């Protein structure tokens, strides 16, 4: 089967009267790793929430291959290959690592492949194998982030959405998380990653969009963006 | 030890086992759907009538009548959810309480219309067991074992099945569930069915011990909710332990004083608990 592309056009979305996204367009082709960067409150999380169906756009189209995202209930999107690691991980702290993975494997196609997928995840994160019977809430922040990514990978997604995987983690752990993201994308999985940690994320993605106040203000190959003086000044702390 | 005190302690544990089932059922539904089924004891009452009717009026063997009560009350739980609770999911909690409280009166009135106000007895009794001057009702002991088996089955369901794990997950974080491909509305229906089936099982255990009448729910409904709150609403393990604690308080209370006073003591203890630990005895 041909891998689907994610295409967003003219997306407007928000919460009640508050509009967070203004005519945002975005495209992720299969096998690509794409970043969405920008300051706090730029609408990055909202963008991911639109893609995973958690909020409905008020205008615009969002498609993943043949699937019309805006017309599909959120709980049906994982079966079409979208997996979303939400902001703040949202693990189930009172469940064990393995039980968290089981929730990630809830959809019928994933249940059948549970053994195979959990082996893949444990191979990717050997620490999770050691801690499979530990309560997720008792692990360190970095381990919880790995568990959250593992939970999303259990459904054999065709695109992985990552919302601020580095948030709240120590710098050395952030480096480990990005190393893992790199490994996942090197295995051919399509990745869309939202980050405030612009410098780090530009090293692992092919392309990136810069989102500011709900609008795409720049886009391009990550090397070009990292070299752009305007981007460096505004979003990279001017180094 | 005084054999009568020992007997009271044993009876307290047996009673706790019977309290435990409706407490688990109530907590399951509350934990998942976030709605208190005020009519829970009346679901049990309907199950008791079902067993009584099938066994004494339709001459079904008792085990078949028991086997029918579980899915029957489970279905009643699903209907309660779909007809009464679901339309009120976004409504203020007081509306939900009033609605399920209304169902309580509908079920009581319905039972009165269909079966009248007579006390109906199943007329089955297992011989008592004796051990060192301590007499234990065989019926109560069998009911206790069945309650434990029911609780163990519930535990295994919540621990090992995908839907069971999703039920425990959704009790903590509802919004994130669709990202896992879980439709919360479907989980609500499953939890309501299981909560109803637990009421059905409780009905089987009670109908062999008590005569059924339309107001039987009042004799264990209030204490069920009290135990739920005492263990921490939605906290399954807390409710389970609190059920035994309450069973012991009631039965030793009737040993030291009398049956009426034992419930006074139980309620006084409950009031003390909610002042001291408003989130439940076993809140972490």
Q: Which of A79, A90, A106 sits opposite B173 (nearest CB)?
A: A90
Residue A209 in contact with residue A218, Cβ under 8 Å? yes
pLDDT, position A1: 54
Three-state SS at A73: coil
To the nearest 10°, the Cα dihedral for B177, B178, B179, B181? 100
**Mean pLDDT within B103-115:** 96
Nearest C-alpha neighbor of B208 from the set B121, B107, B89: B121
Q: Which chain B residue shows the shortest CA-CA distance from A107? A: B181
Whether the predicted pLDDT of B2 surpasses 90: no
Q: Is residue A209 in some structural domain?
A: yes
The pLDDT confidence band at residue B199, using thresholds 50, 70 and 90, is: very high
pLDDT, position A2: 66
Q: Is residue A191 in some structural domain?
A: no
Q: Which of B168, B172, B178 sits opposite A75 (nearest CB)?
A: B178
Sheet of A207-212, strand order: A82-85, A159-163, A190-195, A33-37, A207-212, A215-221
B179 in reach of chain A (CB within 8 A): yes
Q: Which residues of A touch B169 (CB under 8 A)?
A: 92, 95, 99, 103
Q: Is residue A145 in some structural domain?
A: no
- Contact yes or no for B179 and A94 at CB 8 A: no
CB pairs under 8 A between A and B: 66
The pLDDT confidence band at residue B19, using thresholds 50, 70 and 90, is: very high
Q: Which of B168, B169, B179 sits opposite A84 (nearest CB)?
A: B179
The pLDDT confidence band at residue B5, using thresholds 50, 70 and 90, is: confident
β-pairing, A6-15 vs A59-64, is antiparallel
The pLDDT confidence band at residue B284, using thresholds 50, 70 and 90, is: low
pLDDT, position B16: 94
Dihedral-angle region of residue A28 (phi above 0 means left; psi in -120 to 50 means alpha; beta otherwise): beta
**For position A209, which CATH number holds?**
3.40.50.300
Q: Does domain B3-123+135-276 have CATH number 1.20.120?
A: no
The Cα–Cα gap between B265 and B249 comes to 7
Residue range B50-92, pLDDT digits in tens: 999 999 999 999 999 999 999 999 999 999 999 999 999 989 9
Domain that holds residue A72: 1-81+199-239
- Please give the backbone phi and psi of residue B66, each rounded to the nearest 5 degrees, phi first: -60, -45
- Please give the backbone phi and psi of residue B261, each rounded to the nearest 5 degrees, phi first: -65, -30
Q: ipTM of the assembly? A: 0.91
Number of domains in chain A: 1
Nearest C-alpha neighbor of B45 from the set B111, B102, B109: B111
Whether the predicted pLDDT of A166 surpasses 70: yes
Residue A144 in contact with residue A173, Cβ under 8 Å? no
B168 in reach of chain A (CB within 8 A): yes
The average confidence (pLDDT) of chain B is 92
Report the range of poorest mean pLDDT among A18-22, B228-232, B235-239, B259-263: B259-263
The secondary element (H helix, E strand) that includes residue B275 is helix B259-276
Residue A196 in contact with residue A40, Cβ under 8 Å? yes
**Mean pLDDT within A86-103:** 95
The Cα–Cα gap between B22 and B143 comes to 13
3-state helix/strand/coil string of B256-270: HCCHHHHHHHHHHHH
pLDDT, position A239: 47
pLDDT, position A14: 92
Q: Is residue A231 in some structural domain?
A: yes
Q: Which residues of B touch A95 (CB under 8 A)?
A: 165, 168-169
- Contact yes or no for B168 and A107 at CB 8 A: no
The 3-state DSSP composition of chain B as helix, strand, coil percent (nearest 5) reads 75, 5, 20
Residue B205 in contact with residue B25, Cβ under 8 Å? no
- Please give the backbone phi and psi of residue A27, each rounded to the nearest 5 degrees, phi first: -140, 130
**Mean pLDDT within B160-187:** 94
Q: Is residue A193 in some structural domain?
A: no
pLDDT, position B127: 77
Residue range A122-138, pLDDT digits in tens: 999 999 999 999 999 99
Whether the predicted pLDDT of A29 surpasses 50: yes
Q: Is residue A165 in some structural domain?
A: no
- Contact yes or no for A106 and B162 at CB 8 A: yes
**Mean pLDDT within B26-45:** 95
Q: Which chain B residue shows the shortest CA-CA distance from A83? A: B179
Three-state SS at B171: coil
B250 HSE (CA, 13 A, CB side): 24
Bridge partners of residue A208, in order along the sequence: A35, A220
Give the tokens for residue A203.
């090293």
The pLDDT confidence band at residue A237, using thresholds 50, 70 and 90, is: low
- Contact yes or no for A75 and B177 at CB 8 A: yes
B175 in reach of chain A (CB within 8 A): yes
Q: Is residue A127 in some structural domain?
A: no
Whether the predicted pLDDT of B161 surpasses 70: yes
Q: Is residue A87 in some structural domain?
A: no
**Mean pLDDT within A9-15:** 94
B172 in reach of chain A (CB within 8 A): yes
């Amino acid at each position: 089967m041909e891998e689907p592309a994610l295409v967003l056009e003219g997306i407007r979305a928000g919460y009640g009267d508050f509009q967070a996204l203004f005519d945002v367009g975005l495209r992720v082709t299969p096998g690509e790793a794409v970043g969405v960067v920008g300051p706090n409150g730029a609408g990055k999380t909202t963008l991911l929430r639109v893609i995973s169906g958690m909020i409905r756009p008020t205008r615009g189209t969002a498609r993943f291959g043949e699937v019309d995202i805006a017309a599909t209930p959120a709980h049906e999107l994982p079966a079409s290959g979208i997996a979303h690691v939400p902001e703040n991980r949202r693990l189930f702290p009172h469940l064990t690592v393995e039980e968290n993975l089981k929730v990630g494997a809830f959809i019928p196609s994933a249940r059948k492949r549970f053994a195979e997928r959990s082996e893949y995840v444990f191979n990717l994160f050997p620490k999770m194998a050691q801690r499979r019977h530990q309560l997720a809430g008792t692990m360190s922040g970095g381990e919880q982030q790995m568990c959250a990514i593992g939970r999303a990978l259990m459904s054999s997604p065709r695109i992985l959405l990552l919302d601020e995987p580095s948030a709240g983690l120590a710098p050395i752990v952030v480096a480990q998380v990005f190393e893992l993201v790199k490994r996942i994308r090197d295995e051919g999985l399509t990745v869309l990653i939202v980050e405030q940690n612009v410098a780090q994320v530009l090293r692992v993605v092919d392309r990136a969009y810069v989102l500011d106040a709900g609008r795409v203000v720049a886009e391009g190959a990550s090397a070009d963006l990292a070299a752009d003086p305007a981007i460096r000044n505004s979003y990279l702390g001017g180094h | 030890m005084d054999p009568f005190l020992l007997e009271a302690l044993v009876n307290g544990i047996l009673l706790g086992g019977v309290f435990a089932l409706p407490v688990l059922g109530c907590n399951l539904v509350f934990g998942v759907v976030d709605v208190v089924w005020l009519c829970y004891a009346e679901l049990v009452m309907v199950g008791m009538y079902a067993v009584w009717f099938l066994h004494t009026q339709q001459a079904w063997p008792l085990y078949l009548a028991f086997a029918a009560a579980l899915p029957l009350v489970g279905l009643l739980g699903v209907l309660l959810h779909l007809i009464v609770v679901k339309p009120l999911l976004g409504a203020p909690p007081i509306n939900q309480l009033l609605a399920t409280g209304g169902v309580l009166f509908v079920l009581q009135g319905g039972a009165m219309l269909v079966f009248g106000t007579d006390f109906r007895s199943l007329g089955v009794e297992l011989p008592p067991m004796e051990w060192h001057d301590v007499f234990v009702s065989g019926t109560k002991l069998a009911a206790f074992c069945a309650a434990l088996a029911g609780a163990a089955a519930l535990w295994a369901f919540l621990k090992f099945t995908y839907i069971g794990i999703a039920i425990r997950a959704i009790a903590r974080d509802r919004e994130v569930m669709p990202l896992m491909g879980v439709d919360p509305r479907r989980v609500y229906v499953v939890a309501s069915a299981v909560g109803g089936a637990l009421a059905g099982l409780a009905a089987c255990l009670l109908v062999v011990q008590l005569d059924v009448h339309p107001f039987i729910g009042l004799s264990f409904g209030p204490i069920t909710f009290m135990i739920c709150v005492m263990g921490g609403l939605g906290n399954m393990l807390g409710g389970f332990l609190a059920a035994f604690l309450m069973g012991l308080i009631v039965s030793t209370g009737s040993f030291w004083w009398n049956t009426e006073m034992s419930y006074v003591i139980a309620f006084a203890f409950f009031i003390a608990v909610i002042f001291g630990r408003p989130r439940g005895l076993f809140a972490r």
